[in-house]
Structure 1
Amino acid sequence: MRKFFDPRQLLHAPARELHNGGFTDYAEKPSRAETILAAIGGAEAPEDRGEAPILAVHDPDYIAFLKTAAARWADAGRSGDAMGYVWPVVGRRPLRLDRIDALLGQYSFDGGTPLTARTWESAYWSAQSALAATQAVLDGERAAFALCRPPGHHAGADYYGGYCHLNVAAIAAQAARDAGRPRVAILDIDYHHGNGTQDIFWTRGDVFYASLHADPATDYPFYWGHADEVGEGEGRGATLNLPLPQGTMIDAFRAAQAQALRAIADFGAELLVVSFGADTYIGDPISAFRIETPDYALLAADIAAAGLPTVIVMEGGYAVEALGENVASLLSGF
């Protein structure tokens, strides 16, 4: 299987995040990617396909903000990483604001995703890795893997959060659509719901989004991912949420994945993007499922049996000491 990663994806390295009401070390650290690379035997550098595929998914004003936020934070006399601390209430009227403090709240939905002077560069090359894997599959590879770091599925068209800045799964799916694949599916098997991916395709009927995740009644991101969220307008029925309780083990997870794969088959998808998060692992420090390392090969074999050209993009997974083995297990299933 071809695998893609660019070393510039390591440059985003915030010091701290706000978690459970206090500051702690940033969990989405560069060593996550390093341990995966060591376990999978390295990866190819992606080509630079430019910003156009990113702008096919993300709002131009949001992209301009990501490029300049850290510098504007520093110009305002602030030290450290740029972090929001004021967020508008849902339904508050849109305003054109210029102060960096206001913009951080406008374009984010949590306080756990700081921006650094290298965030844009890392996120850009994370997206390029996803695009390279997508092109490999479009060119005939059965499956390809993008080691996307930072991850992407919490990022919406015009917001970031959950360690995510550019939605790599959405960028991959849109690139496949733009290349002529009329029906594309995204299977999200991260511990947390991919709220950004759901939002991006919420009103569209050409991209099916299926997510297995911790019940948002108990787990982040709380406000998305409930079972009654099915899409709107032309997208009604093209979103499938399968929330699972804390403590879920492989048999229940595998059964839910089988349900999602049946729905994807019924949709008639011609290409599959898998948002893979290894934070479903039993030892993950911020999650509460009980999937074990050999289980990932079983999940991957079930996905491969669907017979779809498959782009795998890396999402979460924070048990760094086991992360490489977990990813290698998943890839072995293909």
Structure 2
Amino acid sequence: MYFFLRNLSFCDLCVSLIISPKMLLDFLAERKKISFTACTVQMHLSIVFGDIQCLLLAVMAYDRYVAICNLLLYTVAMSRHLCKQLVIGVYTVGVVDSMIYVCCTFQLSFCSSNIINHFFCDVLPLLVLSCSDTRINEIVTFVFMSCITGSSFVTILLSYVYIISTILQVCCVEGQSKAFFTCSFHLTSVVLFFGTLLFMYLRPTSSYSMDTDKIVSVFYSLVIPMLKTLIYSLRNAEVKDALRKAIHSAKGQRKAFSTCTFHLTTVVLLFGTLLFMYLCPTSSYSMDRDKMASVFYTLVILMLNPLIYSLRNKEVKYSLRKALNKLLTNS
């Protein structure tokens, strides 16, 4: 399981690195541009690691099925050699599928606008720019996406049907709860990933909205990788014990909320600015407003972050409280 988790974490990191740096550079650039080659590479790699994530979740579901339904044969059925072969097969399918998408997309003619209404190169925003007939590309996108997501979804569904039936046959309540708890983290990742993916790619073209697609893309490329880290860290016994102690005591609750407040404030500032800059409708776009948001993102937030996190220090809080009390007394 941890072998597949390492690969899944690597894919999450790669998806963020493929999209985030260019997006952050665009914050500082007055003219946002990307070369044809860079666009091709970005699109190719984002599809590769998107497919790998999808297929890895299916492989992990099968791994959970073997671990719960055939526990005594687990080391034989899921040998190190087989795990490596499965991961190599997943990576191969991702690369081949992405090459098909890239070849089909970039053989089209782009004779009209060259402005991509998105913050990274993706299939659907590029199809909108083409002046060629894109019906074949839409069919190819639908068929291949349906095959990969469909096969993964069926594998996950069948695995969990057998897992649940096996768990219900266990007489020990403690064993049932432990098995369900083990699977809950993987199921949460599956719901987050497939829910976003199905919403993005398997909806009718008539109901397609570029602004909606941008919001979902931010959620898929930035938010979900952060959530997965939190989700899988809860499997650690020490993390669970510390969280349980913090929640059950009143003092611990205040301490936990205080600890999270600083990070949440930073997250709100960062993603609030990000969403404001990139997810506003094109019709209401203003360069002056974009400059103000860029100044806030590149200067103000960078100054606020050290101040926010310094407030966690007791001595800083005591000094600040003392200075405020003195100021109020003098006034």
Relative to the length of structure 2, the TM-score reads 0.25
User: Who wins on radius of gyration, i.e. which is larger?
Assistant: 2
**Between structures 1 and 2, the one with greater helix share:** 2
